[in-house]
């Protein structure tokens, strides 16, 4: 891997310090600090308006913060020039909430587009690689010839994920990967993210409200509140904390149900062995 700064474990792939953002009078981030480690699945949660989407946009160079530094893969985003920005963009993949697929291209063309733009490959090679990513995300080969408008929400997200993966990124950003999906499709996305993690090497940063996804997959979770990180840790650790911003997520009926369910899962193997 072409990273000179990489230490095998625990090397921070994203380091955010003293980040401040405001829209007019509305303060979104106030001196926010955050680190994401290599190889983990990191989730950002928070109420609407807590600035998680803005944080994501700042990490992927779509929005410039008002103050503070963000370093992604060892590169400072504040004073980055166009060439360095392009080089960095090719090292991460982004799956947008609504897919962000180009409506004028077929799914296969969408997936192959980054290759056509940035690699010198002939059309056959591009199509082969795109078809491979399509299969990786569990879509049928026929889907490749369809246009994004013909796809269901779940298929759109998978196609978007395939496009995000086509340049073999080191970092993968997922914006609400399961929002707007029926439980079955959401479960399939869970499986897919799990498969990617098990593939190794990939650091995944996601914004989500999906408690199942958080309990099952996230290694660490940051809760945003009042422009700062209110708490950070695994879901089990967060469940023990008692800051009000964090409690909100666990105190509601849905939060409690997910908590109980996760406990049940932890207990289940044990219970099974007892029965035996």
Q: What one-character DSSP code corresponds to residue 121?
A: -
Can you tell me the distance from the alpha carbon of 87 to that of 98, in angstroms, rounded to the nearest whole number?
25
Full strand arrangement of the beta sheet holding 41-46: 92-95, 171-175, 203-207, 41-46, 220-225, 228-233
Q: Of 98, 209, 220, 248, which one interacts with another protein (CB under 8 A)? A: 98
Told to check if 86 binds another protein by CB under 8 A, we report yes
- Shortest CB 117 distance to another protein, Å: 6
Q: Of 2, 8, 24, 103, which one interacts with another protein (CB under 8 A)? A: 103
- Shortest CB 61 distance to another protein, Å: 7
Are the C-beta atoms of residues 72 and 14 closer than 8 Å to each other? yes
Residues in the chain: 276
- Shortest CB 214 distance to another protein, Å: 23
Q: Of 22, 71, 89, 220, which one interacts with another protein (CB under 8 A)? A: 89
Binding mask 122-151 for another protein (x = CB under 8 A): ------------------------------
- Shortest CB 231 distance to another protein, Å: 29
Can you tell me the distance from the alpha carbon of 45 to that of 52, in angstroms, rounded to the nearest whole number?
7
Give the nearer residue to another protein in terms of CB position, either 159 or 213: 159
Are the C-beta atoms of residues 133 and 165 closer than 8 Å to each other? yes
Can you tell me the distance from the alpha carbon of 19 to that of 34, in angstroms, rounded to the nearest whole number?
9
Residue ranges in 48-77 that form contacts with another protein under rule CB under 8 A: 57, 60-62
Residue ranges in 104-123 that form contacts with another protein under rule CB under 8 A: 113-114, 117-118
Distances (CA, A) of 43 to 57, 101, 158: 15, 23, 19
What is the size of the binding site for another protein (CB under 8 A)?
22
- Shortest CB 220 distance to another protein, Å: 24
Binding mask 160-189 for another protein (x = CB under 8 A): ---x--------------------------
Can you tell me the distance from the alpha carbon of 50 to that of 28, in angstroms, rounded to the nearest whole number?
7
- Shortest CB 237 distance to another protein, Å: 32
Q: What one-character DSSP code corresponds to residue 35?
A: E
Strands (E), 111-250: 171-175, 203-207, 220-225, 228-233
Give the nearer residue to another protein in terms of CB position, either 170 or 223: 170
- Residues facing residue 45 across a β-bridge: 223
For another protein, the binding residues (CB under 8 A) are 57, 60-62, 86, 89-90, 92, 94, 96-103, 113-114, 117-118, 163
């Amino acid at each position: 891997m072409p990273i000179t700064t990489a230490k095998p474990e625990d090397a921070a792939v994203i380091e955010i310090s003293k980040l401040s953002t405001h829209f007019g009078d509305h303060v979104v981030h106030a001196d926010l600090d955050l680190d994401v480690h290599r190889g983990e699945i990191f989730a950002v949660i928070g109420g609407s308006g807590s600035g998680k989407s803005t944080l994501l946009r700042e990490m992927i160079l779509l929005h410039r913060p008002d103050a503070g530094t963000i370093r992604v893969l060892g590169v400072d985003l504040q004073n980055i020039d166009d060439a360095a920005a392009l080089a960095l963009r090719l090292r991460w993949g982004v799956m947008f909430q609504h897919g962000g697929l180009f409506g004028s291209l077929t799914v296969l063309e969408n997936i192959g587009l980054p290759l056509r733009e940035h690699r010198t490959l002939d059309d056959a090679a591009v199509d082969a690689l795109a078809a491979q990513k399509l299969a990786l995300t569990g879509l049928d080969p026929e889907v490749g010839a369809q246009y994004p408008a013909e796809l269901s929400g779940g298929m759109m997200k998978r196609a978007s994920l395939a496009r995000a993966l086509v340049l073999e990124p080191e970092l993968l950003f997922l914006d609400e990967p399961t929002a707007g999906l029926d439980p079955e499709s959401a479960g399939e996305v869970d499986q897919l993210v799990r498969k990617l993690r098990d593939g190794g090497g990939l650091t995944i940063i996601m914004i989500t409200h999906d408690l199942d996804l958080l309990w099952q997959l996230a290694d660490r979770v940051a809760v945003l509140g009042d422009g700062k990180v209110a708490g950070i840790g695994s879901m089990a650790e967060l469940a023990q904390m008692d800051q009000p911003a964090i409690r909100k997520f666990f105190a509601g009926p849905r939060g409690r149900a997910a908590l109980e369910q996760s406990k049940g899962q932890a207990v289940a193997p044990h219970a099974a062995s007892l029965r035996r």
